[in-house]
Amino acid sequence: MAKKIHILNGPNLGLLGVREPHLYGSATLADVERECREIAKPAGFEVICRQTDAEHEMIHFIHEARIGAAGIVINPAAFCYAGYPVLDALKMCDCPIIEVHITNIHRREAEWRAKSILTQGVTGMISGLGIDVYGLGVRHIIRVRSGQ
């Protein structure tokens, strides 16, 4: 059985901790990655973390995880509004995919931010719980893949 969980982050998440801390908090992407590894390691899972501001790179990351990964936790950021190629790539995956958003996208200031086109290609979505969304996604994949 695959033991790799891919944590994929989209545009501007490389600036987590600096970008709009009143919305996204002060934790950095390195903090998120460390927490995910701490959750996964005792269960025997490896975490592979990637971040990109480029849609074509995100598609390559998804293709890499497409077959054989235990699961994907993806924060697509702005790709969730118009990233149809990202959606198509996610639909080709044979593993659980958890879409996460640090903020509650349904309570954001602009109506267009409340709709993710990617929900059609993911197993589930976790939104609005700060960086805890990542750990919850990792825990879900571990539980599903461990048969619990």
- The residues assigned a catalytic role are 24, 101
**Count of residues making up the chain:** 148
Reading the block at residue 121, the tokens are 């290609």
Contact status, residue 106 vs residue 85, Cβ threshold 8 Å: no
Contact status, residue 138 vs residue 39, Cβ threshold 8 Å: yes
Q: Which amino acid does the sequence have at 1? A: M
CA 82, 80, 4, 71 torsion: positive or negative?
negative
- Residue 57 neighbours by CB distance under 10 Å: 14
For residue 138, which phi and psi values (nearest 5 degrees)?
-65, -45
